[in-house]
Amino acid sequence: MYTHTIVSLDNISQKGLSLFPGDKYQVIIPDLKKVFPFGNAVVLRSSDLHTTAVWLKSDKMLAVARAGAGTNNIPVAELSENGIVVFNTPGANANSVKELVIASMIMALRKLMPALDKAREIVAAGGEVLKTAEKAKKAFSGNEIAGKTLGVIGLGQIGVLVANAATALDMNVIGYDPNITVHSAWRIHDAVVRAKTIEELLEKADVVSIHVPFLNETKNLLGPKNLKRLKHGSVVLNFARNGIVDVKTMKEVLESGQCRSYITDFLNSAFVGMENVIQLPHLGASTEEAEERCAVMAVNELRDYLEDGNIKNSVNFPDVELGKSTDTRIVVLHKNKPGMLGDLAQVLGRKNINIIRMTNDSKGEFAASLLDVENKNVSFETEARLKEQEGVLRVRILLPE
């Protein structure tokens, strides 16, 4: 009999799915047009779970893992209230996005797209194509990226890689991120100059590359208040999210020539017919290597949680990890409220259950506790009493196999 059932959506790489041991896990690949099967966990990329509400109420559903960074397609708030952990895979697709950003920067400065269109036109017309091409190429004279200034907005996993790669290509790099983490700060090249404001960055950069998540505070981050501060003739690259760049203002700076070119990974009909806009169909993480890394990371996160209760890279619950010190572990997901640990300890104490080792942490209004206990006296009644405590969302007792 299987221990866990995994619902796999969006053709998750077999390199990841193969990491689920066949004797413990059943992997289901459903036809969502017919039914969404109940399982213990879901691993997915882009499927929209907002429209699939019935499984949110299942007590058996424990976790969702997104093989990618963004979780806009997942009802995180509802899952959190039901004690369901949502994982993502930060950094797993960062290199693929970085490479596409560098390619797009060169594509814009060297005018490769209009040159390609002209070449096709010349070949289709026939005749002395080489002579015609020689005459036409003057219109597509471009610029090197070496010596130009790149402004990177957002210095997370991807932004740091882009900044470091640009430095290696002899570009001057300035970065803006008021919330840069210690991890990113250690990884970034010391040649990258810090901008104090977005406006300072926009005024100095020949190329601007955006790498921030889409949140309420980043909506229209580049918009009416600052986009017209762009250095004249600069290039803007958006491989972050739709909604971070205000479309109306971007059209204005493109039409005026203040922005030479805009390359975005998110299609928008507002830019149809604009020759200085290149729209890509969300290709940032669309490489075989990135999909494999994301799948492997997502599966490992799920296994670590399902088998041992450890949480890493969750968007709604804190990271908690505890090396096994007994063969019985109690996992409690709960609201972050004063006295919770004391309440849990009292319940266990009344049942003469000794806590050998424990850890606890919180993230916003939610918290997680792992308690390694002596096996004796642990029962389903123990689980029921813990669930009765105010603020407790989910209790799991992991017993020896």
DSSP3 helix / strand / coil % (the chain, rounded to 5)? 35, 20, 45
Residue 39 has a pLDDT of 87
Alpha-carbon distance 255 to 249, whole Å? Answer: 10
Instruction: Please name the amino acid found at residue 73.
Output: N
Contact status, residue 38 vs residue 55, Cβ threshold 8 Å: yes
Alpha-carbon distance 77 to 82, whole Å? Answer: 9
- DSSP one-letter code for 82: T
Instruction: Please name the amino acid found at residue 299.
Output: V
Instruction: Return the C-alpha torsion angle 299, 300, 302, 306, nearest 10.
Output: 130
Contact status, residue 334 vs residue 343, Cβ threshold 8 Å: no
Domain ranges of the chain: 1-92+287-316, 94-109+143-279, 317-401
Neighbouring-strand partners of residue 219: none
Q: What are the distances in angstroms from CA 374 to CA 107, 326, 342, 344?
A: 63, 7, 18, 15
Tell me if the domain spanning 317-401 has CATH number 3.40.50.2300. Answer: no
- DSSP one-letter code for 312: -
Alpha-carbon distance 154 to 246, whole Å? Answer: 17
CATH architecture of 94-109+143-279: 3-Layer(aba) Sandwich (3.40)
Dihedral sign, Cα of residue 47, residue 50, residue 54, residue 56: positive
> How is 88-122 classified by DSSP, letter by letter?
--TTTTHHHHHHHHHHHHHHHHTTHHHHHHHHHHH
Ramachandran angles phi, psi of 311, nearest 5°: -125, 125
List of residues 6+ apart from 391 with CB closer than 8 A: 334, 335, 337, 340
Tell me if the domain spanning 1-92+287-316 has CATH number 3.40.50.720. Answer: yes
Tens of pLDDT along the chain (401 residues) come to 568 999 999 999 999 999 999 999 999 988 766 666 678 999 999 888 887 655 666 788 999 999 998 898 999 999 999 999 999 999 999 999 999 999 999 999 999 999 999 999 999 998 888 999 898 898 889 999 999 999 999 999 999 999 999 999 999 999 999 999 998 999 999 999 999 999 999 999 999 999 998 888 999 999 999 999 999 999 999 999 889 999 999 999 999 999 999 999 999 999 999 999 999 999 998 899 999 999 999 999 999 999 999 999 999 999 999 998 899 999 999 999 999 999 999 999 999 999 999 999 999 999 999 999 998 888 889 999 999 999 999 999 998 87
Ramachandran angles phi, psi of 218, nearest 5°: -105, 0
Alpha-carbon distance 121 to 106, whole Å? Answer: 22
Q: Which long-range contacts (C-beta less than 8 Å, at least 24 apart) are formed by 51-59?
A: 56/82, 56/84, 57/82
The two tokens of residue 139 are 């219109």
Same fold flag, 1-92+287-316 and 94-109+143-279: yes
Q: Of 51, 80, 62, 54, whose CA–CA distance to 6 is shortest?
A: 62
Alpha-carbon distance 282 to 265, whole Å? Answer: 5
Alpha-carbon distance 354 to 373, whole Å? Answer: 6
